Structure 1
Amino acid sequence: MFLLRLILPDRPGSLGTVATALGAVNADIHAIEIVEHRRENGTAVDDVVVDLPPGVLPDRLVSACNSVEDVEVIWFSRYGAGGGLHMDLEAVEQMTSAPREAIDILVEQAPAVLHADWAALLDGTGGEVKVALETSATPEFDGLADPWLPLAKATTLAPPANHKGLSESVLVASPLESDQRVLVIGRRGGPEFLGSEVARLSYLASLAVTIHTTA
């Protein structure tokens, strides 16, 4: 599968035109998710998760989108995290069905929810920052997480330079339960996390803590 992040006019019919263009190159659309509305210039940022049949070159996806007037592809990559529409709601449903595991569930589901590659729960409550839980493909932290803690609120993070894995990722994080327990999520290579995605993570983190503590 592939992930396309697009800027397109925020008006009725825009997504349909893009979907038609992708259909013309035999792309199978798995999900279209509105990431952000930019009311100041009348555009929106959308993520489109698609698959292609064998023999169709991936760059045809970009060409198809660029053929639509006023549509710009700002990110294109292979996408293996799964996910799709309503991933936020699916994560919440899983957390409410197993409230004692709500935080673990959020860590596990975070890459799919935010179209990312990995997630890790860092715990500095004992004085030394440790990785308490991580998904597959999480790079080694090697003590480089110490400057990020304590973390007061959800925000993007600057990756450490010259660290294979972390330096190749764009990062977003949110505290869980305390400013010494932090969920870090990474995308290899991009795209950058937008303000709306930071807000979504903050909401889901607060919800996970509430569900867990009231179990």
Structure 2
Amino acid sequence: MSYLLRVVLPDRPGSLGGVAAAIGAAGGDIVGVDVVEHRADGRAVDDFLVDLPSGKLPDALVSACRSVEGVAVEFVGHYSPGAHLHRDLEAVEAMTGDPDRTAEILVDLVPGVFRSGWALLVSLDDGKVKVERAAAGAPEADGYAAPWLPMPGPVRIGTGDGWAPDSWQDVVAVGTPLESGHRAIVFGRDGGPRILDSELARLTHLAALATVIRRDGVTGRDSG
């Protein structure tokens, strides 16, 4: 079984190694580590993707991390089998390789880049959400009149104002516009962990790069 741990730890040399050693001692096999955020209070937020052998419970990972001084576990949850971690640079390289499909490629890679449960490429069609592409089991959205679209800028998507179907009720989600506010990329997690400001900023940066790569790709062909 694979698990995602979001760990808050002191932002100093040795802390990451201490957590990794504790996870290993508890029987966990670390598949990937991603530094999500450096905080002004001297702490960092890291995501660990960990495989556990049959019979081991995720509580053992939590206890192991907490045994390291100054470390707290913000979230632990099952991570989909077969899912992979990607880096922002990998997403940029993939988009550069196919400029006509930058938005679709980004949506496909977002779950691995952000360890999110799913992602959507949406547009506004006659006042309602049109799903152009969905990745990793996204909740229902097509045909709903969502108050967050059009999207003038990066947003946190709430579900308490009556628009959302039942499949959104335990979701934390954010979105950012593409070429215009009428087209956007959304990603979310079912049950957590919460989406940090740094993650939303990264999504916005990648979406802007998707637009630039697509435009430059088209311009390059036209000028040739």
Instruction: Render the CA deviation track for 1:15-61: whole Å, top value 9, x for unaligned.
Output: 0000010110121101111111112x211111111101222222111
Deviates more, 1:155-164 or 1:118-127: 155-164
Contact 1:149 1:180 in 2 (8 A): yes
Q: Deviations over 1:140-181 (max 9, x none)?
A: 125445211121112221124573221111001010111000
Between the two proteins, the alignment pairs up a number of residues equal to 213
Q: Hey, what does 1:155 align to over in structure 2?
A: 155
Deviation of the 1:78 alpha carbon: 0.4
* CA 192–144 in structure 1, closer or farther in 2 if over 3 Å, else same: farther
1:11-50 aligned within 5 A: 11-39=12-40, 41-50=41-50
2 CA distance for matches of 1:134 and 1:197?
19
SS in 2 for 1:106: helix
Q: Which of structure 1's runs of 4+ aligned residues deviate more than 2 A?
A: 81-84, 125-129, 142-146, 159-163
Report the counterpart of residue 181 of structure 2 in structure 1: 179
- The one-letter amino acid of 2:199's match is E
Whole-angstrom distance in 1 between the partners of 2:49 and 2:128: 39
The 5 A counterparts of 1:65-84 are 65-80=65-80, 82-84=83-85
- The two structures have a TM-score, normalised by structure 1, of 0.93
Q: Is the 8 A contact 1:159 1:171 kept in 2?
A: no
Unmatched 5+ stretches in structure 1: none
Runs of 5+ consecutive residues of structure 2 not aligned to the other structure: 218-224
Q: What's the counterpart of residue 221 of structure 2?
A: none
Q: CA RMSD in A?
A: 1.6
For residues 198 and 88 of structure 2, the distance between their equivalents in structure 1, rounded to whole angstroms, comes to 13
Contact preservation (8 Å) 1:125, 1:181: no
Q: What's the offset of the Cα at 1:191?
A: 1.1
Give secondary structure in 2 for the equivalent of 1:148: coil
Partners of 1:159 and 1:167 within 8 A in 2: yes
The more displaced of 16-25 and 143-152 is: 143-152
d(CA) in 2 for partners of 1:136, 1:17: 33
Q: Compute the displacement of 1:90 (Å).
A: 1.1
